[in-house]
Amino acid sequence: MHPCPGPRTAPDHARGPMSTGQRDPRLALLVDSIVRLSRGELSSRIEPSSARDEVDAVITGVNLLAEELEQVYEQFEKRVESRTAMLRQAHLDMMKMAMSDGLTGLANRVALMDAIEEALSLAENGDSPPALLLLDLDSFKNVNDRFGHDAGDRVLKEVASRLNQVVRDTDMVARLGGDEFAILLPAASLDIAMQVARRALEVLAERIELDNLNVHSRASIGVRVGTSGQNAEELLLDADTAMYAAKREGRSIIKVFEPVMLYSRQLRSQMATELRGAIASDELVLHYQPVVDLASHRILGVEVLVRWQHPVRGLIPPDTFIPLAEEIGVIHDLDRWVMTSSLRQLGQWRNDLHLDEDFQLRVNLSALELKQLDLVDFIRGLLREFDLPARCLVVEITETAIVTRGEVEMYSLLSLKQLGVGIEIDDFGTGYSSISYLRELPVSMVKVDRSLLAELDTRPGQHEFVAAILQLIRAAGLEAVFEGIETREQAQTLRDMGCSSGQGFYFSRPMPGDDMAALLTTTHHLRAEEHLEGARSTPSR
Ligand code: C2E
Ligand code: MG
Ligand code: MG
């Protein structure tokens, strides 16, 4: 504002108007004042004269107008100031929102990438390079599936706060989405990075208690220390590759990036592409392994085992591609193809080979299939199409999967049982066996994992251990089947323990459908002569 230019002592014009004919000097002052006001000099005022005539009235009016304008202007300026402050805050909030994860309040991917770029550029100027840890929670999906998304969100928040506890203020914890987290140590050696990774595993291993829920939320961690010339994307990809390797190796594992990991990842992604086409181009083949009665060696049925006849790599075993099929979502088509083809095969055999009415086909089913609401209808439709009684079919589901006990899974199991299809827990003894669940689940058979049998003759006390497991299964009202019987001694021991059925290389390796048809045509008993010998040497059981 300009200072008031009005004179302190009364000027000429203030003494009164001019005589007639003379020009009134107040008019010039008025014009001058109006020009100044129009220029924004709102503090401009004119001293009225003592005449108190019309010109003075105009002067007073102009002064009042100037005053009014000055006040309005001041208010206006204050308002502009407060709006600008609000805008600035909104901008800051938006920036924060764009850079942070809404659920946990941690930095998000954008913020992490910015921070990595900054740390890398500092390293270019002589600082130590940054280290990046990528964490993926193991079995977080189970938390969501079993307890709902609210519980899942609370677990993620708790994980975020625990991870914040293991880092310093200068480090950054970020959530990259889902159950994936990252820790950026702006300048750190591999030693330090490993210390932080181990601490992270420790804090995550502690049980998370939410109301009446107890959740374990372990993680797999990939570690990568930056190298010169790397950009943020490359560092993240390397850490991700290491994390991926950790995940594949098991739970609660830390893996440091090695270049060879990139190669195996590429190979895997190529395999994934090929596997997607394998079902459509008829590259999957089925082999069958007999399941026999241990007392008579009579063939009770077969387990169907899928293989991939790869045009270049030859016959690939299922352990190599089933986990991949589950990961990339192909397992659904694969399991349904196996179910359809093997039931069709069973229908043909029943027509052509005059099999026993009770001859059973065992089909492995991924736990993911139990989540499909149409699974039971699909199986019912196939049994009808191939004219098969439901008791001919047994589905094998691995122990780890069945224990999850989601609502849809339970619905599928109960409906299958109601339909008359047998349900068997596969690989029993390898997962998280809780004895009580054996009695709660709608299963009728338990297939004991071959690892328990492998140590039967070598490990002290294993004999008693296997016998106890067998008793346990029986006490739960279930039937036990042993897999991986490789020797005559194992077969006899199991028989003497009172186990009724089993399978393994001792009796027969898995074989293609045609070979199995030939076998079923010529014989109903496997290793019959050895069985007779065995029976002679152990006359009573
Ligand atoms: P599994 O269901 O436990 O199948 C038994 C595995 O043990 C088969 O391996 C079989 O060849 C092998 N085996 C049988 N007898 C012996 C023995 O005396 N000694 C030894 N060392 N091994 C024996 P395979 O065919 O490689 O199958 C591996 C796993 O792949 C299966 O384990 C099953 O979990 C999965 N799988 C196979 N076919 C399918 C399928 O169609 N769908 C799904 N979801 N999984 C399948
Ligand atoms: Mg099986
Ligand atoms: Mg098994």
Q: Tell me, what CATH number does 177's domain have?
A: 3.30.70.270
Do 299 and 242 belong together in one domain? Answer: no
Residue 155 is encoded by which pair of tokens?
């677990």
Q: Residues of the chain with pLDDT > 70: what percent?
A: 92
Average pLDDT taken over every residue of the chain: 88
Do 371 and 520 belong together in one domain? Answer: yes
Do 296 and 245 belong together in one domain? Answer: no
Between the CA of 301 and the centroid of ligand 2 the distance, in Å, is: 13
Do 115 and 85 belong together in one domain? Answer: no
What radius of gyration, in Å, describes the C-alpha atoms of the chain?
A: 41
Of 261-265, 486-490, 534-538, the poorest mean pLDDT is in: 534-538
Between the CA of 445 and the centroid of ligand 3 the distance, in Å, is: 12
Residue nearest (by alpha carbon) to ligand 1 atom 3: 427
pLDDT digits (tens, 9 = 90+) for 324-360: 999 889 999 999 999 999 999 999 999 999 899 999 9
Q: How confident is the model at residue 10 (pLDDT cuts 50, 70, 90)?
A: very low
**Average pLDDT over every residue of 484-493:** 94
Domain for residue 501, yes or no?
yes
- Predicted local distance difference test score (pLDDT) of residue 23: 81
Do 208 and 128 belong together in one domain? Answer: yes
Residue 19 DSSP symbol: P
- Predicted local distance difference test score (pLDDT) of residue 52: 87
- Predicted local distance difference test score (pLDDT) of residue 534: 56
Do 452 and 502 belong together in one domain? Answer: yes
Q: How confident is the model at residue 398 (pLDDT cuts 50, 70, 90)?
A: confident
Between the CA of 447 and the centroid of ligand 2 the distance, in Å, is: 8
Question: Is residue 2 over pLDDT 50?
Answer: no
Between the CA of 264 and the centroid of ligand 3 the distance, in Å, is: 27
Do 439 and 484 belong together in one domain? Answer: yes
> Ligand 1: which atom is nearest the Cα of residue 427?
3
Do 145 and 76 belong together in one domain? Answer: no
Q: Is the pTM of this model over 0.75?
A: no
- Number of Cα atoms under 13 Å in the Cβ half of residue 532: 3
Number of domains in the chain: 3
Between the CA of 397 and the centroid of ligand 1 the distance, in Å, is: 12
Domain for residue 266, yes or no?
no
* Residues contacting ligand 1 via CB (< 6 Å): 289, 305-306, 317-319, 322, 335, 338, 364-366, 396, 426-427, 450, 483-486, 503-505, 510
Residue 523: domain span: 289-304+333-536
Do 423 and 454 belong together in one domain? Answer: yes
User: Please, which contacts does 441-446 make with residues 24 or more away whose CB atoms are closer than 8 Å?
Assistant: 441/402, 441/405, 441/413, 442/410, 442/413, 442/414, 442/416, 442/417, 443/402, 443/413, 443/478, 444/417, 444/478, 444/479, 445/394, 445/478, 445/479, 445/480, 445/481, 446/473, 446/478, 446/479, 446/480, 446/481
Question: Is residue 438 over pLDDT 90?
Answer: no
Q: How confident is the model at residue 431 (pLDDT cuts 50, 70, 90)?
A: low
- Predicted local distance difference test score (pLDDT) of residue 394: 98
Do 432 and 528 belong together in one domain? Answer: yes
> Ligand 1: which atom is nearest the Cα of residue 365?
44
